Amino acid sequence: MTHFNYIIWLFPLLFVFHDAEELIGMGRWIENNKEFIKNKVPKFYDFYQYHSNKGMAIAILEELIGCLAICFWVMLSNDETALLFWWGTFCAFTIHLLVHIGQCVFMRKYVPCVATSIICLPISIYILYKTAIQFDFEGWKLVVYSIIGAIVVAVNLIFALWLMRKLK
């Protein structure tokens, strides 16, 4: 396995590490901060008030399967398109980490996932940088695949959240 092959598999590893914090902490955090959340971000509370660990675990599993599928695609195809798609979805994951940090700043208190976001963010930025440099991708391709990755991740997130609510 080449050095880069190991880097490809850091994506699902970082994903699981990060989402484990969410799975472990979100339910209790919502319960302990009910009134605060209702006042500060009522739409968040309306959506997550029916949260269950079972539903969240299924949603995380669905997202992990997609992440693993992308990694296998890169490994098996040895194709630039697959690699750029991986880069774009990994970029979306990295932006997702920034969103959690932003939530923490906005709420001015700990939010589940902020600890692993702070740990994973510099690693993720480094991986994106090294990948872009190693493969000498053209800037426009990185932008296009980042947008495609963000759209795919957003659509999948909507589906995963739908699953979470259905399987509560």
What are the distances in angstroms from CA 45 to CA 19, 50, 62?
19, 9, 23
Residue owning tokens 């589906």: 159
Copy the structure tokens of residue 144: 């296009």
| Confidence (pTM) | 0.89
Q: Report how far residue 68's alpha carbon sits from residue 84's, in angstroms, rounded to the nearest whole number.
A: 15
Print pLDDT tens along the chain (168 aa).
Answer: 466 788 999 999 999 999 999 889 887 888 888 888 888 887 776 666 666 788 888 889 999 999 999 999 999 998 899 999 999 999 999 999 999 999 899 888 898 899 999 999 999 999 999 999 888 888 999 999 999 999 999 999 889 888 888 876
